[in-house]
Amino acid sequence: MLLLVAGVLYFLLLTNGQVRPVGLTSGASGSASLTAAAAATTAAAAAGRVAAAADTAAPNITAAAPDAGPVSKVRQGVDPAAIRKVQPLFHGARGPHGGAPRPKQYSEWDEPLPYGAVRILALPLNGSQAVLDIAASVTADVVGLLPPGTQVFANGPGSYHCTVFHTSQPTDPRPDPSRPDGGLDDPSLPPPRRRPQTAAEWERELATVRRIVAATPVPTLRLERVLQASSGVLLLTWTEAGEARVIPDLRRRLREAFPGASTKQASIIHSSLLRIVLWFVREAEFSTVVGEREIIRLADGAGADGAGAADAAVGHS
């Protein structure tokens, strides 16, 4: 059994570009510059406490039913139509010698999204070397099971995370999720034509997320299983240890605070390791958690409302 105890959450503006932290402060005045490397270091120092039993082994993803080998099970479980649907969201992978696929920035989509249209609260996993080792092993094993010519986009260790909540999704951007209508005068407009979020809306949204997260106890997650989704995404799934329901309760409070958030939300606790974007050498061209980050610590048990926990995290540089 592997347990993950994580004490911080990332609130991100996703661009699929460079990490550009916003609003990180060191007290009432002044700011802290946070590079991608420093963001990972901060998350590791604040969060990554992992306990693994001595007999822990990486999940066995090659196990197969008696009537099917592992390769055939991977082939049978993948829906080529679902993979084709996301191919336009990637650069590269033009045939077997097209190079590794890489996700497009939202500004590079055929119908670009405005800056800040995608915002996600995520639990980073890069503070746990045990998790990173298992993820790397699983990814390598699954890639080895895929047919020749299959091309994948594999998330880097710095991008491993569990999605908690989207205040705004790329398929359903909401500029002001605190409003029941999501801040949309015309919800029928397609995503590229919806208005961008204002600076004031962003600051209110961030303050609300900070307040809710700072009053949330630290969850302990248990690695459950490895799943290959029909969409081509390889997942680690997690459950909470014991009878705790920290993540479901956090999601409920976020939904109450943001009634106009995107309707499609994660219902399980999962981490994406890789995505198949070219199945049997189809032309390929989605998304990581690369973008502007706010690092917010959960309550540490010092107070009932978690006061001060968020400032301690965002003020660390």
pLDDT at 184: 96
Q: How far apart are the first and last CA of the chain?
A: 33
**CB 165, CB 11: distance < 8 Å:** no
Residue 2 lies in a domain: no
Is 3 inside a domain boundary?
A: no
Ranges under pLDDT 50 in the chain: 16-75, 279-286, 301-317
Q: d(Cα 43, Cα 316) in Å, to the nearest integer? A: 10
Q: Is 7 among the domain residues?
A: no
Print burial letters for 104-140: b (CB count within 10 Å at least 16), e (below 16).
bbbeeeeeebbebbbbbbbbbbbbbebbbebbeebbe
The total number of structural domains in the chain stands at: 1
- Give the pLDDT score at 178: 98
Domain assignment present for residue 6? The answer is: no
pLDDT at 202: 92
Write down the H helix ranges in the chain: 36-47, 70-76, 80-86, 129-145, 199-214, 246-257, 309-314
pLDDT score recorded for residue 10 = 65
CA atoms within 13 A on the CB side of 149: 8
Residue 5 lies in a domain: no
Q: How far apart are CA 310 and CA 317, in angstroms?
A: 14
Residue 135 to residues 12, 145, 232, 237, Cα–Cα distance (Å): 22, 16, 16, 11
Query: What is residue 65's predicted lDDT score, i.e. its pLDDT?
Result: 29
Rounded CA separation 38/7 (Å): 17
State the pLDDT at residue 167. 93
Whether 310 is in a domain gets the answer: yes
In angstroms, rounded to a whole number, what is the distance separating the alpha carbons of residues 36 and 126? 12
Q: Decide if 23 is inside a domain.
A: yes
pLDDT in tens, 162-188: 889 999 999 999 999 999 999 999 989
The reply to whether 1 falls in a domain is no
Q: 25: domain range?
A: 16-53+64-314
